[in-house]
Structure 1
């Protein structure tokens, strides 16, 4: 039986893997779980990005929620961090986002938030999943009888959902009595919800951004209505690109995964700063005034050093994942600060921040969490905070970001016949041990299986680029020999 939830919700090809039937079942199950934990009837904030499938899935998810008695607060096109913030600000029982983030347009996803706007904890996701899977009949996704089951499509952080075209029974049908009459859920529009989110962003930005020249790449996604509005509200001179979503162009050759056109626009406009968001705007990649890309590691360093100078970085600690470049760790250490590393995924970053009482963390991909202002990554908020450092210090982004000198890093994805048991393969372990010995204290090696694809990922970094590449290929070769496709 394939799991529905990955580290970032349920995700798959819309209308094949992530169907309207599955969205309906998820909505009904989520309403029941939220009611069981936080009281009945729940109120759920729902937003989506600009994918063509978003309207279909929004309708199905909302129908499922309301069929179990939940009130739905529809936001329409809204960023993931916007839904997170408004879930708390509107005192809702939970939130739901329909988005596949940085993935291609044909994908979509659904994830849920708790009343504080944080991703649902594992045990509640598992409770939702159990209701959905237990309520499905033969030929349904849970039964594995439909086409596309367990796709392994490698769509990022979400699980590849088990697919099927059959509808199956409603979630948790056994023992569940659907409400009737006045017990059925309703829509509850909040006309000023978007303005509340923009006001939150204005408060975080503070004064001093008037006249700043900024180029925004909205990735034809959820940032389109909100990022330009937020920056204009603080008085910036704004140029916007990739802001014409048609349902099929989200993330295509633009946004945080393809910032080249943003770099060109920054140079052409003579801008002070460029910001490229992903499809749901929880990530941002910056471009400095010279048109050079500034990734999440450099953004973390710039924010950390500024916060430390102002006495606003508890424990002198930043949280990042094992994928962050060694250059970030060295830059922080040189300033007397500490880097705590976690497993890959913003969920793990958030957990470490909460456990340690830390306020800044993120990923190299540009998913930055400013915990004093948000409980999830917010690309628009991060961009405003970065610009505030530029204004406060009077320095251009190129100079601020230069504090991080990335070391050469090589990542190889090795297709394998199986991901399990790689740690017990003597050939692989011998290659890793040999690579670590040759790297010494001046580098790192990381080997880990993909969460969704039949791949083992090999990352090696160090000061000697030729050596790094040689060692990465050596370890990858050992993995191919032991576990490569065609082996057993």
Structure 2
């Protein structure tokens, strides 16, 4: 089964049996359920929903089904076409819409697609609203409106240029400083919408752009997740082209990774760290990332006189904690930067513009800037348990064992040691515990992971 239903939307592989894969039947069912959920909060109102998509090959088919279903449910449509996730989020606010649907499976391979669901603020649905969509999708009693009450397409236009303009208008984006450095930049957009917007933004900033996989064909040139193992091509290109840096994004452009001038990874965990360092150098306040993100953000925040806060894993949880604490910047260690000055969503365009401003003003090379930040190394493992094992009980036992350390249990169990940490989380869909560690060296991070794998095994007798 490759149809995954969650509070954040629905995703799966295209084709196959309805209910098991992402088929036209499932697309219609969940789109209609989403409209019903939004309508419950706006009784009697004619709804307007923004629709955008990434460049994956199933996008046009899914887009037509979504738009037709929205109109069939009586909702009007604003179509922004080929658009990033953050751009679609901004479009919801710009058009005063009641919600939005982003057609993208983010970093998943080409055979996947998904419906990401937004509220009227252009933010992902709350936990309660997401659960309501799932409940309504299981209810077949919905009556569709008659011909006279159908929706229509109000607008069909790109939002990409407006998104770029909004980023360039941010007070902390110093376009002139970036232009003076005349950066030569290699961009790997994995043949999706990032190939349109990232080079466009860079050229507005006076950069010379070398395009790699920037044709938005949806035929991903490599695994689309911007992890070091997938970025050998851009690493080689940065060195070959004698570029100042490389920029890699995922298909919907909410994750951002940098490559240094010598072809080494800046490391995606440090995308947020560097951007936050720059923001905090000009704005007093705190930061937020999820529990599995690098301690380097906490270090940088405290060095700048701010307070760091941790949230449960997931963008919705990061945003909620940012609003609760009034954080001035936040995000996730996967390269997702959230800058509330523009909007509460991970936005690679914002990340690029703020990072390049920071780099330009510093006068440093990428490797020199990276060396100014605390060096941490991560290890990510998992242990499979039998269905009979009570994972919550196992994690509770670990929490009690380490009660003398700094322990956070808002999402699994995270144990902070003096120079390292371990975060253990259970999977929501299978008997697996994920074990993330971070330490001052890779060997120490790996050893810490192995140690806790052993402890988990001893507790549950496996």
What TM-score comes out, normalization by structure 1 length? Answer: 0.82
In the other structure, the counterpart of 2:204 is 233
1:461 is aligned, of 431, 438, 444, to: 438
In the other structure, the counterpart of 1:300 is 272
In the other structure, the counterpart of 1:22 is 26
| Contact 1:219–1:255 under 8 Å retained in 2 | no
- Alpha carbons of structure 1 residues 201 and 21: separation in structure 2 relative to 1, 3 Å: same
Moved more, 446-455 or 62-71: 446-455
| Contact 2:7–2:131 under 8 Å retained in 1 | no
- Does 1:385 find its partner at 2:389? no
Q: Distance in 2 between matches of 1:320 and 1:420?
A: 30
Moved more, 272-281 or 4-13: 4-13
| Contact 2:260–2:266 under 8 Å retained in 1 | yes
| Contact 1:270–1:289 under 8 Å retained in 2 | yes
Q: Distance in 1 between matches of 2:100 and 2:395?
A: 46
In the other structure, the counterpart of 1:177 is 143
In the other structure, the counterpart of 2:447 is 470
Displacement, 1:101? Answer: 0.5
Q: Distance in 1 between matches of 2:397 and 2:210?
A: 50
- Alpha carbons of structure 1 residues 344 and 431: separation in structure 2 relative to 1, 3 Å: same
Residue 375 of structure 1: SS of its match in structure 2?
A: coil
Residue 56 of structure 2: SS of its match in structure 1?
A: coil
In the other structure, the counterpart of 1:158 is none
| Contact 2:7–2:125 under 8 Å retained in 1 | no
- Alpha carbons of structure 1 residues 336 and 313: separation in structure 2 relative to 1, 3 Å: closer
In the other structure, the counterpart of 1:131 is 136
Displacement, 1:113? Answer: 1.1
Q: Distance in 1 between matches of 2:422 and 2:14?
A: 36
Displacement, 1:269? Answer: 1.7
1:199 is aligned, of 156, 160, 165, to: 165
Q: Deviations over 1:405-449 (max 9, x none)?
A: 333332211122239622323996399649979995222122111
- Alpha carbons of structure 1 residues 417 and 483: separation in structure 2 relative to 1, 3 Å: farther
Displacement, 1:70? Answer: 0.6
Q: Distance in 1 between matches of 2:151 and 2:185?
A: 43
Displacement, 1:84? Answer: 0.4
Residue 134 of structure 1: SS of its match in structure 2?
A: coil
- Alpha carbons of structure 1 residues 19 and 370: separation in structure 2 relative to 1, 3 Å: same
Displacement, 1:478? Answer: 4.1
- Alpha carbons of structure 1 residues 79 and 217: separation in structure 2 relative to 1, 3 Å: same
Q: Any unmatched runs of 5+ in structure 1?
A: 136-173
Q: Distance in 2 between matches of 1:239 and 1:298?
A: 23
- Does 1:117 find its partner at 2:122? yes
| Contact 1:419–1:456 under 8 Å retained in 2 | no
In the other structure, the counterpart of 1:270 is 242
- Does 1:65 find its partner at 2:70? yes
- Alpha carbons of structure 1 residues 252 and 192: separation in structure 2 relative to 1, 3 Å: closer
- Does 1:75 find its partner at 2:59? no
Output the aligned Cα RMSD: 2.9
Q: Distance in 1 between matches of 2:163 and 2:70?
A: 24
In the other structure, the counterpart of 1:141 is none
Q: Distance in 1 between matches of 2:194 and 2:278?
A: 26
- The residue correspondences of 1:379-418 to structure 2 (distance < 5 A) are 379-418=348-387
In the other structure, the counterpart of 2:419 is 442
- Alpha carbons of structure 1 residues 333 and 466: separation in structure 2 relative to 1, 3 Å: same
Displacement, 1:254? Answer: 7.0
Moved more, 418-427 or 359-368: 418-427
| Contact 1:301–1:328 under 8 Å retained in 2 | yes
Displacement, 1:206? Answer: 4.3
- Alpha carbons of structure 1 residues 427 and 118: separation in structure 2 relative to 1, 3 Å: closer
Hey, which bits of structure 1, 4+ residues long, moved more than 6 A? Answer: 434-439
Displacement, 1:396? Answer: 2.6
Q: Distance in 2 between matches of 1:219 and 1:226?
A: 13
In the other structure, the counterpart of 1:171 is none
Residue 132 of structure 2: SS of its match in structure 1?
A: helix
Q: Distance in 2 between matches of 1:117 and 1:238?
A: 31
Q: Deviations over 1:144-189 (max 9, x none)?
A: xxxxxxxxxxxxxxxxxxxxxxxxxxxxxx2x43222231111223
| Contact 1:431–1:478 under 8 Å retained in 2 | no
Count of aligned pairs: 442
Displacement, 1:81? Answer: 0.5
Q: Any unmatched runs of 5+ in structure 2?
A: 407-414
- Alpha carbons of structure 1 residues 420 and 233: separation in structure 2 relative to 1, 3 Å: farther
Q: Deviations over 1:299-331 (max 9, x none)?
A: 223223322322x132xx111111122333334
In the other structure, the counterpart of 1:94 is 99
Displacement, 1:46? Answer: 0.6
